[in-house]
Structures are given as C-alpha cells and as structure tokens.
C-alpha cells in the first residue's frame, strides 16, 4: 500500500516533485487501487513519504481537488470522490483547418449580407433583451468542389460595431471575430435535422437528408456577440470529443 519506495524518489525523471506526487495519486485513483471513498494519506504522511515540505504536498492535493478527483475535508482528511458526472472536452476547430486536415482545398463564399434592426427571432437567438442593429450573414464553406457546411450567422452590432464596415467577401466571419473580440463564454447546441428545400439546395444534397447542426452563442463580458449555426451534411461530419478526467 505504499505510494513509492523512499529510494525510488530520486530515481525518476526530471519531473518536479509536485508533478510526481500529482501523477502518483492520480494513477492510484484511476487504476482503481484507491476506490471512491478511500481516504488519501494525510498531508503530513505524504510529506514524510516524499520527504518534502507540506506546501508541496498541499499544492498537489489542492490541484487534485480542483480537478474534482478528490474531496478535502478539514479535520477529516482527503477522500477519493465518486466518479464525477461525465464531461467531455469538445474541440471546435476552424472550418478551414478542418477541411485542410482532410487534404482538400478550402474555399469560402459569402452568400448574403443584411444589416437590419433585430427581429424578435434575432433577439431570441442572440439573447438580447432590447432591439438594436444586427448583421445577418449567410455563407458556404467548401471542401474541394462540394459544399462542406452552411453558415448562418448573426452579429450584434451594438457589441461589435466595426463589423458594419466589413463586407465579409474575403474573410469568413469566424476568423474575423476571433482575435478582434475577446470572448468570455459560449454555449453550443448540437442536434440532427432534416434538410429543408433551401438548405438542401445550398448544400447540394437531397431535401429531407439528415444534417448535423451546431449552434454557438458567444458572449463577451456579459454582452451577446454573435450567434452562428453551422449545418453539415451528415456524411461529411463527425464531432469528436475526448475526455480525460483531470487537467494535471
């Protein structure tokens, strides 16, 4: 039941002690050797075991607690938590990068650009309470000859006024916004949908064909910035999300 033999301590790689303690304990938990509910050695025990100061041990344990692997209780000690609610990290790439990763030539085409006062629907999508100017954009992303995704976007001009002067013919709104607007929060909705006439037409697929729809709403410091809907033909797209419990 020992974490490491004292002699092993200096035998490791050039990992910092802090990292060493972290990965040791994480390993114990993930391998199941320490089941949920198991009490982890007290800080002073780990201090002795690793022959280091309490601060170092404390930093490692605090980190494990923040990652949700363990729970710390004063006077009682630290305990392995029940397996957490599962959460996955979903990487949302730039469409250009995605297409180029497939080895296909990327092309972007702006279809429509309309400046208007926000309709009730616009406000619903953006999460705006009051009316104001918005920019509505519709664009196509191509992989080689075939349409890869249809993009329907709303930009809140009250939050990003410079967008009013941009025609978005040469640059897609996504890359344009990134780097210009620091975003603090985003919400995604992912669903399946049958293509209606308009969408089928744009994507060059049959009406009624299944599509994957990814909608993203972005805020920057409490202000709604943009709402975007990407529509992918089912065959062309799979989202991949990978999960590793802790962020060591």
Point out which residues bind a copy of itself (CB under 8 A).
29-32, 35-36, 66, 82-83, 85-93, 178-179, 181-194, 208-213, 220-221, 232, 234, 237-245, 247
Q: Which candidate, 141, 212, 220, places its Cα nearest to that of 174?
A: 141
Nearer to DNA, 4 or 193 (CB): 4
Does 66 help bind DNA (rule: CB under 7 A)?
no
In the complex, minimum distance from the CB of residue 7 to a copy of itself, in angstroms, rounded to a whole number:
25
Q: Based on the shown chain and the rule CB under 7 A, indicate whether residue 73 belongs to the binding site for DNA.
A: yes
The yes or no reply on residue 78 touching DNA (CB under 7 A) is yes
Count interface residues toward DNA (CB under 7 A): 25
Residue 182 CB, nearest distance to DNA (Å)? Answer: 21
Q: How far is the CB of 66 from a copy of itself (least distance, A)?
A: 7
Could you give the C-alpha distances from 232 to 73, 163, 196, 200, in angstroms and in order?
48, 25, 13, 11
Minimal distance in Å, beta carbon 236 to a copy of itself?
Answer: 10
Q: Are 160 and 154 in contact (CB under 8 A)?
A: no
Q: Of these, 75, 121, 182, 191, which contacts DNA (CB under 7 A)? A: 75
What lies within 8 Å, CB to CB, of 52 at 6+ separation is: 17, 21
Q: Which of DNA, a copy of itself, none binds 78 (CB below 5-8 Å, type-dependent)?
A: DNA
For residues 216 and 53, give the distance between their C-alpha atoms in angstroms, rounded to a whole number: 46
Give the list of residues 6+ apart from residue 93 with CB closer than 8 angstroms, or none: 101
- Rounded-to-integer distance, Cα 120 and Cα 128, Å: 9
Whichever of 14 and 85 has its CB closer to a copy of itself, that residue is 85
- DSSP readout, 165-233? G---SSS-HHHHHTTTS---EEEEEEEEEE--HHHHHHHTS-TT-EEEEEEEEEEETTEEEEEEEEEEE
Choose the binding region for DNA from 72-80, 155-163, 196-204, 212-220 (rule: CB under 7 A): 72-80
Residue 69 tokens read as 């692997």
Please choose which of DNA, a copy of itself, none residue 56 contacts, taking the beta carbon within 5 to 8 angstroms, the exact cut-off set by kind. DNA
Q: Rule CB under 7 A: choose which of 25, 26, 49, 61 binds DNA.
A: 61
Q: How many residues does the chain have?
A: 248
18 binding DNA? (CB under 7 A): yes
Question: Footprint of DNA on this chain (CB under 7 A)?
Answer: 16-19, 40, 42-44, 51-56, 58, 61-62, 65, 72-78
């Amino acid at each position: 039941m020992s974490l490491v033999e004292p002699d092993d301590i200096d035998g490791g790689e050039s990992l910092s002690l802090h990292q060493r303690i972290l990965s040791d304990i994480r390993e114990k938990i993930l391998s199941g050797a320490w089941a949920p509910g198991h009490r982890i050695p007290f800080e002073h025990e780990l201090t002795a075991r690793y022959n280091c100061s309490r601060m170092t041990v404390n930093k490692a344990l605090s980190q494990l607690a923040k990652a949700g692997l363990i729970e710390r209780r004063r006077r009682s000690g630290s305990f392995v938590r029940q397996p957490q609610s599962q959460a996955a990290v979903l990487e949302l790439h730039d469409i250009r990068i995605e297409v180029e990763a497939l080895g296909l030539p990327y092309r972007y085409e702006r279809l429509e650009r309309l400046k208007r006062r926000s309709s009730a629907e616009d406000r619903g999508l953006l999460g705006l309470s009051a009316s104001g100017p918005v920019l509505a954009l519709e664009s196509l992303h191509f992989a080689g000859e075939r349409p890869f995704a249809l993009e329907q976007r709303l930009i809140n001009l009250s939050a990003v006024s410079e967008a009013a002067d941009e025609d978005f013919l040469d640059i897609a709104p996504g890359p344009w916004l990134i780097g210009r607007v620091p975003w603090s929060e985003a919400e995604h909705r992912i669903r399946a949908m049958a293509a209606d006439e308009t969408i089928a037409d744009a994507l060059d697929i049959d009406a009624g064909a299944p599509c994957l729809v990814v909608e993203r709403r972005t805020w920057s410091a409490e202000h709604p910035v943009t709402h975007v809907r990407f529509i992918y033909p089912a065959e062309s797209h799979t989202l991949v999300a990978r999960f590793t419990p802790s962020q060591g």
